[in-house]
Structure formats: C-alpha cells, structure tokens
Amino acid sequence: MTDNLKFYINGEWVDPVTPKTLDVINPATEEPLGKISLGSQADVDKAVAAAKAAFESYSQTSIDERKALLGKIIEGIKARIGDLAETISQEMGAPIALSKAAQAPSGIGHFMSTLAALDSFEFEEDLGNSRVVKEPIGVVGMITPWNWPINQIACKVAPALAAGCTMVLKPSEIAPMNAIIFAEILHDAGVPAGVFNLVNGDGPTVGAAISSHEDVDMVSFTGSTRAGVEVAKNAAPGVKRVAQELGGKSANIVLPDADLAKAVKQGVYAVMGNSGQSCNAPTRMFVPVDKHGEAAEVAKATAANVKAGDPFAEGTTIGPVVSEVQFNKIQDLIQKGIEEGAELLAGGAGRPEGVNKGYYVRPTVFAGVDNDMTIAREEIFGPVLSILPYETEEQAIEMANDTEYGLSGYVQSGDIEHARKVARQLRTGMVHLNGAGVDNQAPFGGYKKSGNGREFGIYGLEEFLESKSVIGYGD
C-alpha cells in the first residue's frame, strides 16, 4: 500500500484544504494498492493562483531556456522509466511488457517531438505591414484519462511548457500514481514553482472547478465524449478555449486487394492491445462479403492467441480492464451483441476460463455485424471486435463514415495508391494505411464527436498559443 495524500502546488507538496481520501484499486486483484486525496474547489483555487502568478515570469522565458528544461525532463523520465512502467501496470492493468515498451516511454516521445518542434517553429512572422506574434495562451487546465496516462499527460504538458504556459493538471483518479511520479520528475528537473501544479480529484468536483475557473484561460481534456460535453458546458461562460480528444469507433476497411489474413490478424491485435482501452482502436472491421467467412476464421484463430492474465506474468497478452464499472459496461455490450443477432466467434460474456478475480474480459470477436447494431455504434472500450461485410467499396466507405465519431480510420490494401484514395474519403482526423502506427509528429485528434483541436508535435504546440497582430510594425 502506498499513500500519496498531498498535492503539488507552487513547487511544494501540500496537504489538501479538506481531507478526503480515495482507494486506488489494482484491477488485477480488486484490492487497494494505495490512497490519494480528493481535492476541492479550494485546492483548485490555490493551484490556479500559483499558476497565474508564475505565468508573468515563465511566459517571458526564452526558447533556449524552455528547450533546456524539456531536455532535463526527458532525462528525468528516462531515469524513472521503470517506476512509471510498474506503477501503470499496477493501477490500470497494462501488461508490464506493454508498459515498458510503450506506456511509460510514450512520455519521452512527446517531449522529444515537442523539442523538435521548437527547433523549427516560427513564433513571429511578417505579413505586409504587420508582425504576427505567437504568445502563450496563459493558465491551462488539463484533465487526463487512465487508459494511456503518461502519454496523455506528456502530450499536453510538453507543448504547454514549450509555449510558455503554466498549468494545473487533474489526472484520472482511477490511475493517478504515475502522475505523482511525473510531478516529482518535473520538480527535480527544475520546473519553476507554480508553472506545473497537480491536484487529484474526481471530474464532478476538481474537473468542474478547473474547467469553470475564471482564471483558467484554456482547458485541454481527454476522455469520453459525455464528459467532454460537460467540460465544454462548464467552460462556456468564461469563453475559454477548449481542446478535446474524445471517443472513437474507428473503421478498419480491408479492401479486396489486401492480404486478407495479414490484415485481419493485424486488425485483431490492434483492437485487443491495451485490453481494447484505446480511443483509436479499429473496432469495426469491414471485409468484402465474399471473404467474410475466411476473415471470420482468421479472426477467431487470432483471438485464441490473445491471453488475458496477470499483468506481471510472462506470456500475458492483455491484462484486466481498468475498473469494475468498465468491466460491467463491456459485459453489457457483449450481451447486447449476442441478443441483437451478431455471430459470436470468440470470447463472450464473463471472465476468461479459470479466472475468478480481477476485471478480466474475454477477447471477443463478433462476425456478421450490421452497422446499426449497438456493438457497431457505441464505443465499447474493451477487447471486442465487430466484423461487418460489405458489397462495394462505396458501401464500405459509407458505413465507415456512418458514425457520430471521427477519430481514426484504417485502410488495408495491396496498392498504396488505392489505400490513399480511400483514406481521403474517410471523415476522420487520422487514417492509418496498412498497419502504420501513430506518428508523434503528425496531428492527433478527431472530427465530429471525437473532439476538436489537435495534439502532438507542432500541431500540439499551436493549441497553446494565441496570435497577436502588431499592425504598422514595418513603418
């Protein structure tokens, strides 16, 4: 048991104004692994005041000073990478191999891509008789999720620091311990007091206090679409900028000229990774109707190789989902798929065989899914794949776009030009061709109810800047 009951405010670890604690649950054991404090409006007020005071000086630091600071943070993350990986696996259930290979190192990746962006970014440019100046937006409230915790913290904090902003972070109360390590890293790297502040708490209290605070100039939120709507409502009276990365229901179009077996295997593993808890997971796989049977067999065989188990055990492919609430939601949606007539190829309701403890979900694949079924419409956020047959390419594209979400799309083809052509017709913020992974330099974000704004690299940096026109500058 590890208790982390203090908040990081104005460069110090301080007690909450009003003591109130929450157990952090290990999803593999269903037992507490430690406690955190839940903050209040008063704690947020203290953190925002510190950030506002620090903005005056930090916003005037040079680009070279900020680059040096980012470099020190990168070294700090490297030094604590083992602690971060182990903590993430304990509190949100990712297999330790995934935590070591991707979850924890993702923080380094975002700081490095931001550092690269600073090398080429133009903070001033001349247009006619005017000078256009890019300046830090001010105090930023950050609300981050539990599924890729350090990834989502770093892709906000790194560009905000690079832009010259100050900030208040509320990490997910479900997986908060990694954020405490992150705050220690920033402190040791010499981030000036008040520039970065951490207040733990829940969404309805601390999240709402941050998004509605009159001295917060911008809110950067990653989470569910439902919660994102509430953040936007709370922020609206202050007319503050809101950047949101929300839910997804991404389509994976396997074209007739693709290597079917390779594409299907790749698609299954992409959905199952991280126990299906990735907003950009390709959970709707579209296959030609005359290849539906073959695709179903490949998917079934691939799912059989996905092993749900102890995150720290050798050979585990996926760990538990993060919480009992998440487990129950996924179970309900799997049952809904069965009731609505989808063909259950693998997995199904309940825990994997031989498992009676922990929030483990059976790797599940449905075939013969209609695009109007619940499992094809709602974001499940679990290891559940739906295979949908299509007759023509036009129909596949139409069904892929027939969703309220628009985060990612995937296209598989033996002809790259063909894949590119289809990609241009998808109404999504990102499209992955033939299994290409996420690119930290390219903009990350979505259309429609998948959010607004973009993260990563130069595009993430721009989110935290205001444009000022100095007219008559050339006179």
Catalytic machinery residues = 245, 279
Residues present in the chain in total: 475
Query: How many C-beta atoms surround the C-beta of residue 338 within 10 A?
Result: 15
Instruction: Tell me phi and psi for residue 31, to 5 degrees.
Output: -110, 150
Strand ranges, E, within 137-283: 139-143, 166-170, 196-198, 218-222, 241-245, 251-254
Does residue 352 sit in helix, strand or coil? coil
What's the angle, vertex CA 299, arms to CA 378 and CA 428, rounded to 5? 40
Question: Which contiguous run of DSSP H or E holds residue 458?
Answer: helix 457-463
What's the angle, vertex CA 248, arms to CA 339 and CA 228, rounded to 5? 110
Q: In sequence order, what DSSP letters do the residues of 403-414 get, joined into one string?
A: SSEESEEEEE-S
Contact criterion met (CB below 8 Å) for 400 and 409? yes
From residue 128, give the alpha-carbon distance in Å to each of 468, 473, 475: 14, 9, 11
Does residue 337 sit in helix, strand or coil? helix
Does residue 119 sit in helix, strand or coil? helix
Contact criterion met (CB below 8 Å) for 431 and 446? no
Which of 306, 282, 360, 354 minimizes the C-alpha distance to 328? 360
Instruction: Name beta bridge partners: 235.
Output: none
